[in-house]
Structure 1
Amino acid sequence: MGNSKKVFVFDDNADILELCTIILEDAGFEVKTSSTSNQIVDQVMACMPDIIFMDNWLPDVGGIDATRELKGHPTLKNIPVIYFTANNDVKSLAEQAGADGYLSKPFDIQELENIINKHLGI
């Protein structure tokens, strides 16, 4: 399966990263994770994912700034970014960041897969 879609998850919580990896690999995706959004452009360029999940609470560079940086980048701006947080205000945070969608935590597995399928047109 050389054509599996790549999902990049940014979250500073190791449990969430592990959970997402298990769920998404099980669903046939290739998964890359990072606990920091520092050098976000370099991190994403190195992997060129099909879709990105971005947590709000990341050390140093927060999710909003990281998402804006991606959306301002000519090569990376077309990769869908899903804003991903336990904050009740996830929708307005996603809008501020310029994200393509959002998922509130805790999420269920079906929601996670649905949002990926929707944005990747699967």
Structure 2
Amino acid sequence: MSSILLVDDEPDLLETCRVILAAEGYAVRCARNGVEALRLALRQPPDLIVTDWMMPVMGGGELCRQIRAHPVLANIPILVQTATPPPGPADWDDCLIKPVTAALLLATV
């Protein structure tokens, strides 16, 4: 079973994505900011990270930079979900502009 780490500071969106992905058989863990996500990823590296861009404590941009800089995490694919396209250069693998449909999320994952 593939594992996904979801990162978003909006609890409703986090839960919705978790339910969608879990229903498809993914093992899903959730974090509400980049600091929490980095801690979870280091404890048990996921197969994919899906993160919001704008978050308190540590945003998606810094999370992506730290993941890419860490040898254990550097090769994990990162999917960014955001309301506005983040500036480059890209430390992530793909980006979806919110709102994202369940079908698009699943097809991209």
- Where does residue 50 of structure 1 map in the other structure? 47
Aligned in 2, Cα 1:78/1:46: closer, same or farther, shift over 3 Å? same
Moved over 3 A (4+): 94-97
Task: Tell me how far 1:95 sits from its aligned partner.
Answer: 3.5
Q: Does 1:112 align with 2:108?
A: no
The correspondence for 2:59, drawn from 57, 62, 81, is 62
What TM-score do the two structures reach when normalised by structure 2?
Answer: 0.92
Q: Which structure has the larger Rg over C-alpha atoms?
A: 1
Q: What value does the CA root-mean-square deviation take over the aligned residues?
A: 1.4
The correspondence for 2:25, drawn from 25, 28, 42, is 28
Aligned-pair identity in percent equals 29
Structure 1 spans left out of the alignment, 5+ residues:
117-122
- Where does residue 96 of structure 1 map in the other structure? 89
Task: Tell me how far 1:46 sits from its aligned partner.
Answer: 1.5
* Contact 2:7–2:37, Cα closer than 8 Å, also in 1: no
Please list the CA deviations of residues 56-106 of structure 1 after superposition, one character each: whole Å capped at 9, or x if unmatched: 11112111011101011111010001111111xx2xx26434101111111
What TM-score do the two structures reach when normalised by structure 1?
Answer: 0.83
Q: Does 1:41 align with 2:38?
A: yes
Provide the aligned length of Structure 1 versus Structure 2: 109
